[in-house]
Structure 1
Amino acid sequence: MPDLLLLIRNRPDGPQYRILSALMAAHPNGLTVEDLRQVAYPDGEPPEAVNYIRKTIVNLRRALARARWTIPSAQGDRSKLGHYRLAKTGTII
């Protein structure tokens, strides 16, 4: 796996960096939104933590697309909602 952390510009101690680091460490498995809340906010989370994580995932998808990686959406599979993982894409961007 390439060092996908080079694709983001946030601080190493910031939530976006922590979330991507955790997803990379868990690859090929995924993490739940609860796991990501603990990773992103180890010292206590803000009230809007879940919404921030969702927005962070959207932003990470954009950044990862350049390296042909993504964080797939559940696409109707209710058992996978709130579960995030890294995956290689098949398209060149």
Structure 2
Amino acid sequence: MLIVFLAITALMVLSTSGRHIVPTRLQAAAEMAYEFVASTVRDTAGNAGMRFFPFVFSVFMFVLFSNLIGLIPGAFTVTSQIIVTFAFAAFI
């Protein structure tokens, strides 16, 4: 889970460190993820639901990167562990 946290932090810091008029590929990927989650929250909960956006975006990125790390040979998906599922169920 630490690897997932570090990967998310590195992606967001590196993609937003030097914002350009014409975005780089990394900046475009980060903006695309941001806009996808923002539009989903806005469509589902309306503008009043945007106060939950940081939490929803964090959960989305955690699940996305946890599952992407599972694609690496020899690695496992963090979300396949039952304790992570129980933690999501209890705290979310």
Which structure's relative contact order is higher, taking Cα pairs within 8 Å and 6+ residues apart? Answer: 1
Higher helix share: 2
Larger-Rg structure:
2
TM-score normalized by the length of structure 1: 0.34
TM-score normalized by the length of structure 2: 0.34
Higher strand share: 1
